[in-house]
Amino acid sequence: VTRRASLWGVQSKSEPALDQPQVIQAALDLLDEVGLDGLTMRRLAEKLDIKAPSLYWHVRNKDHLLSLLAEAICARTHLPESTLPWRQQIEALAHEYRRALLARRDGARVLASVFPSGTNRLRLIELVLRNLLNAGFSRRDAAYAGFMLNDFVTMFVMEETRPIEQPANGQEGPPTTAQEWVEGLSPGEYPSVRALADHLMDNNAQERFVFGLEVLLDGLERRLIGKS
Amino acid sequence: VTRRASLWGVQSKSEPALDQPQVIQAALDLLDEVGLDGLTMRRLAEKLDIKAPSLYWHVRNKDHLLSLLAEAICARTHLPESTLPWRQQIEALAHEYRRALLARRDGARVLASVFPSGTNRLRLIELVLRNLLNAGFSRRDAAYAGFMLNDFVTMFVMEETRPIEQPANGQEGPPTTAQEWVEGLSPGEYPSVRALADHLMDNNAQERFVFGLEVLLDGLERRLIGKS
DNA sequence: ACCTGAACACCGTTCAAGT
DNA sequence: ACCTGAACACCGTTCAAGT
């Protein structure tokens, strides 16, 4: 990435200045490289060959940058056929949403860190809510269900992608692996945790996601049956 | 909080040194005062009338401190009657868990930031899993359901307690209030979002929590009925 | 219009040294 | 055993100044 400063008022077409889309793209690349915790304004500036304060010409502050990243992460989600039954549409949307969050490192954490706004993200929300209304949910239930679905997917992916604690040093500490975690439990205590240890940490994420989605939609569907 | 250094090897009973419980208590107080983002090692040290490096004698690092805080937050949760039916026990545990997370500022964020460990927290998990197993769920389903319940409560409280964005400056920016947020939507687009705006932001949290818990447990219960 | 230099007010953490 | 001083390697952000 090479650029040059142009003189004030002189629109030098051969030396285009940095613009916001380029900043966002660089930030997305940096996010994939170093994760959300490593994404700093200073490192982003370095990547763009400018000094950190220059970034504030293109974005209001770091929070604004994260909002823009959230929007970019929600872009290019494939929307379901509007002729499908509501449940299948919502299932498809949930899977697409998860896919989008997994596509970039710490995508779920980025989404969780900013208030939902932006056309891409709102379009997803709109579609979920529309399907719930079409299904026959009351306005209250549709709104509450929308929260649940959004929260479920976001939290699921955050957990799914949470890196396991590293040993860091040879010292004693919190368990470094899931295996070590369960073995650290005193044998007599927490018998259920021990009994379920395999499944608590298999991290067969796809299977677990389908399970969760089914439970959630079953629970929602039951409210429709109760009414009609 | 006043203390004095004691001479090396001299156990001066009248001048007790700082110990870990005192550090934790001060950290909890500081958390309530300034929130998770304001909780820094340096401020905590200041509150304890020591210098920041001294803290590392009592806790391994900030992450360790947060683990200790998570444990403290999970303490003093009232456990349900073990004679109650599984669903009522889990409902009671969910409400207690939420209550504990709400009891301290940013409690949910603290819990979400550390890997689950510690006796208080494990006891809650153990009880949920035990009830699911008693209810007749397979080991796999019980484990997955445990995740869902934990994630639901944690995410719910995080959202419930997320402070609304402040105006900060007079400039244009992300919406500052929920009211402003929905009014900023272009009228033609996102009709469902607009139609549900009241319920998307009423933040009648208690009602919404009960709704979510019922949906979740209904969805889980359906899997039992399908089997027997 | 867009970028830099210098500065402010912070962070977590280490490590030798004090008592 | 417990604490301090000094330092390292960072942060986000502002603001006057450059071109």
Pick A219's closest partner by Cβ from B171, B185, B219: B219
Pick B192's closest partner by Cβ from A129, A171, A199: A129
Q: Which residues of B touch A199 (CB under 8 A)?
A: 139-140, 142-144
pLDDT tens digits for range A158-199: 999 998 765 444 345 556 566 667 777 776 889 999 999 999
Q: Which nucleotides of chain D does any protein CB come within 7 A of?
A: 1-7, 10-16, 18-19
pLDDT tens digits for range B42-73: 999 999 999 999 999 999 999 999 999 999 99
- The predicted pLDDT at position A140 comes to 98
Q: What is the C-alpha separation between B124 and B110, in angstroms, rounded?
A: 16
Q: Which residues of B touch A169 (CB under 8 A)?
A: none
| Whether the predicted pLDDT of B213 surpasses 90 | yes
- The predicted pLDDT at position B2 comes to 39
Note whether B60 contacts A145, CB cutoff 8 Å. no
Sign of the dihedral through C-alpha A67, A70, A76, A80: negative
Q: Residue range B88-116: average pLDDT?
A: 98
| Whether the predicted pLDDT of B119 surpasses 90 | yes
Q: For each of chain A's 228 residues, which pLDDT tens digit applies?
A: 334 444 444 444 435 789 999 999 999 999 999 999 999 999 999 999 999 999 999 999 999 999 999 999 999 899 999 999 999 999 999 999 999 999 999 999 999 999 999 999 999 999 999 999 999 999 999 999 999 999 999 999 999 999 876 544 434 555 656 666 777 777 688 999 999 999 998 889 999 999 999 999 999 999 998 765
Q: What is the C-alpha separation between A178 and A171, in angstroms, rounded?
A: 17
Closest CA to A190 of B126, B119, B147: B126
- The predicted pLDDT at position B174 comes to 57
Note whether B193 contacts A129, CB cutoff 8 Å. yes
Mutating which of B193, B203, B222 best tests the A interface, going by the most A Cβ atoms within 10 A?
Answer: B193
Distance from residue A208 (CA) to nucleotide C13 (C1'), in Å? 39
Q: Scan for tokens 């203390």, then name that residue.
A: B3
Distance from residue A117 (CA) to nucleotide C17 (C1'), in Å? 54
